[in-house]
Structure 1
Amino acid sequence: MDTEVERAYRALLRTGQASPDELAGQCGYGTEQAEEVCRQLVELELANTSASGVLTPLSPAKAVEGLVAAAVRRLELRLQSEVHAGGIVDALIAERRAPSPVGHLGDGQSVQLTGMAAVRAAIDELTFFTWDESLTTNPTGVLSKESISHARPIDERVLRRGVRMRTVVGHAAREDPPTMAYLRELVGKGAAIRIARDPIERLIICDRAAALTPLDPAHTAKGAILTREPGLVAALVSLFERMWSSADPLCVPEGEPADEPEGTLTELERKILHSLCTADKDEVGAREVGIALRTYRKHVAALMRRLDASNRFQAALLARERGWL
């Protein structure tokens, strides 16, 4: 972190809490510098701020853990981008004696995968090469502990890269607390989740270029069909969009950002992004948008996750690059 931010955090640890003015007095900051340092303390999750603007430091263990996790995410994203650009995985796949159906499946081709081990291996490779959009469905709705354990690292890897993730799950999810907890966890990380009212088909579609469908919908463990045939993939994307349109957005606690596709903004989110370019304080931005300060900050944090931005200035720049502003 910035030296001045670290200095301010240490001062907060010594005092227990402080207002921006008090922090300015303790550290010798001017008003503008104190406000900027306080903003960074909150953005880096080193401190919480009350409605009156008083800052309280997070515990050192939690603060350092958050800084390390953020650094790891940035490093992982950079390394994954380098691997993708360098074609390292493709080169290694070419060395394998038993060719991967995913790595060597060209446009207009399909292959049958037998057994869950083969399907999961295919999903691992497909998601590794997914950089734009991931569309999935889960007709049963209920996710077992094992399924969540297997899915979490894959889902997190995809979301960290800024891939737009949309998922439709069966209505039984509403009655299963572990499933709902995991779905809300994904929404918090930037995924868009909807719950179907009617029966849905099982699909996994990556970058609208490859799709997986089960060999037997009633017994998915038997295996799947992996296809890159453009007409078939397009038909499956159309099927997904119909299921998505008829499903209900996942309910989130009051004040949390709503479930929306990664590349879609609500009018409120657009106003909040605009405020990041014009307002010098969260309080000013919240007043401009017309919402509570706490709600405003939750939306800002969610937008930063979706943009994979390390600070609000970067979030505004990335939003402009994506055409969100």
Structure 2
Amino acid sequence: MSNLLEFLGVSEREDRLYRALLRGESCRPDLPPQGTEKDTTPAEPELTSLVTLGLATRTPGGAVRPVPPPRAVDALIDGRLRLLREDLEGEVAQRAVIESLFMERQTPVPPHSRNGGENDRSITQLHGIAAVREAIDELTFFARAEDLTTEPNGILTKESIAVSHPINMRLLRRGVRMRMIMGAAALEHETTLSYMRKLASHGAEVRISHLPIERVIIIDRTAALTPIDPARTSRGALLVREPGLVATLVTLYERMWEAAEELPGEDTDMPSDTERKILAVLRKADKDESAARQLGMSVRTYRKHLAIIMRRLDAANRVEAALIAHEKSWLS
């Protein structure tokens, strides 16, 4: 059979090995696949290659299992698109395409496409939603490491999701770390909650804040957007590139992030992994300092999570929280 996956970057050998795994044949490198030719015996590097391509996963015991075909092909497509995008972005940068187009508009070139300069250390007023969205497009195009955002209102309209979704997926495909803090109203808004879970399934980190939060977007910790008027965000935003001010906004963001809680999963009656670990330690540790140390987190963070657990369980104290958690089968 010809290699149907060749156009997706899969070698003939990898194609045959993946098919052997789908047939349930041996997935251990020290055992040849049953009923296949000797040269199809998988070696460790080849199995690792399948895992890297997204065609297989490795179990805790070291065995390699095939990924279902729809997911496998989707992973291959994403991989090829990522490589193609990197090639095209490299060509765009080499040809200075963005700079050339901005010159036609007589608009300052975005800071990420230049090599620094005094103009980078400025605050620019952007008037109106259209100008803000254009700035977000420009900043995220050059994003390479991190995207930090908040949504104090907690509710996203279908229109705003339609605008932001392509940008968010583009960032996630490029491997940009995306963190989002949503207002508590998101938990009661089906459209928003569903979209947040979708982004989380693609690698975004989402938290819910029950405290007031400020509206801010920070890209690569070098540029930030804040509302001109927090009470009327439609007026526009301030584009901040001054390093000192951006650093201050990053510090503010980290504080809001620490005070927020994890996005609940589909089954909201079950604890998160962090909550399960805290409950397990709660039964053994006699002091918060000891428990936090065992979990590798600060005492403040530990107490924040513990308070959330007690609120979810409607427990008056920690002992009652442990008892209720046991009754709800949260603890094994």
| TM-score greater than 0.5 by the shorter chain | yes
Show CA shifts across 1:19-43 (max 9, x none). 4379712322479626665565555
Q: Which residue of 2 aligns with 1:83?
A: 92
User: Alignment length, in residue pairs?
Assistant: 256
Q: Is the 8 A contact 2:47 2:64 kept in 1?
A: no
Secondary structure of the residue that 1:251 maps to in structure 2?
coil
Q: 1:20 aligns with which of 27, 30, 39?
A: 27
Q: Is the 8 A contact 1:110 1:225 kept in 2?
A: yes
- 2:97 and 2:243 map into 1 onto residues whose CA distance is 26
1:200 aligns with 2:213: yes
Q: Which residue of 2 aligns with 1:7?
A: 16
Show CA shifts across 1:155-180 (max 9, x none). 12222333232221111112223322
Matches within 5 A, 1:129-168: 129-168=142-181
State the 1:117 CA deviation. Answer: 0.8
Q: Is the 8 A contact 1:143 1:179 kept in 2?
A: yes
Matches within 5 A, 1:209-224: 209-224=222-237
State the 1:147 CA deviation. Answer: 1.6
Unmatched 5+ residue regions in structure 1? 259-265, 268-325
Q: Is the 8 A contact 1:108 1:230 kept in 2?
A: yes
Structure 1 runs, 4 residues or longer, greater than 4 Å off: 10-13, 34-43, 45-57, 100-105, 252-258
Do the aligned partners of residues 151 and 257 (structure 1) sit closer, same or farther apart at CA in structure 2, a change above 3 Å counting?
farther
Do the aligned partners of residues 206 and 64 (structure 1) sit closer, same or farther apart at CA in structure 2, a change above 3 Å counting?
closer
Secondary structure of the residue that 1:167 maps to in structure 2?
strand
User: Aligned partner of 2:166: which letter?
Assistant: P
Unmatched 5+ residue regions in structure 2? 1-9, 275-294, 297-332
Show CA shifts across 1:119-166 (max 9, x none). 100110011122222221110112222222211211122223332322
Q: 2:182 aligns with which of 158, 165, 169?
A: 169
Do the aligned partners of residues 11 and 152 (structure 1) sit closer, same or farther apart at CA in structure 2, a change above 3 Å counting?
same
- 1:65 and 1:247 map into 2 onto residues whose CA distance is 33
- 2:137 and 2:169 map into 1 onto residues whose CA distance is 12
- 2:196 and 2:131 map into 1 onto residues whose CA distance is 25
| Structure possessing the higher relative contact order (Cα contacts under 8 Å, 6 or more residues apart) | 1
Q: 1:122 aligns with which of 135, 139, 145?
A: 135
- 2:195 and 2:94 map into 1 onto residues whose CA distance is 32
1:180 aligns with 2:165: no
Matches within 5 A, 1:33-52: 33=42, 40-41=49-50, 44-46=53-55
User: Aligned partner of 2:120: which letter?
Assistant: D
Q: Is the 8 A contact 1:7 1:27 kept in 2?
A: no
Q: Which residue of 2 aligns with 1:92?
A: 101
Show CA shifts across 1:260-316 (max 9, x none). xxxxxx98xxxxxxxxxxxxxxxxxxxxxxxxxxxxxxxxxxxxxxxxxxxxxxxxx
- 2:167 and 2:122 map into 1 onto residues whose CA distance is 25
Q: Highest Rg: 1 or 2?
A: 2
Q: Is the 8 A contact 2:56 2:64 kept in 1?
A: no
1:58 aligns with 2:68: yes
Secondary structure of the residue that 1:112 maps to in structure 2?
strand
- 1:155 and 1:144 map into 2 onto residues whose CA distance is 15
Matches within 5 A, 1:149-298: 149-252=162-265
- 2:109 and 2:120 map into 1 onto residues whose CA distance is 12
User: Aligned partner of 2:68: which letter?
Assistant: L
Do the aligned partners of residues 48 and 228 (structure 1) sit closer, same or farther apart at CA in structure 2, a change above 3 Å counting?
closer
Q: Which residue of 1 aligns with 2:3?
A: none
Alignment RMSD, CA only? 3.6
User: Aligned partner of 1:115: which letter?
Assistant: G
Do the aligned partners of residues 130 and 40 (structure 1) sit closer, same or farther apart at CA in structure 2, a change above 3 Å counting?
closer
Q: Which residue of 2 aligns with 1:315?
A: none
- 2:177 and 2:65 map into 1 onto residues whose CA distance is 34
Show CA shifts across 1:2-55 (max 9, x none). 212212344566xx5434379712322479626665565555444689999696
State the 1:80 CA deviation. Answer: 2.1
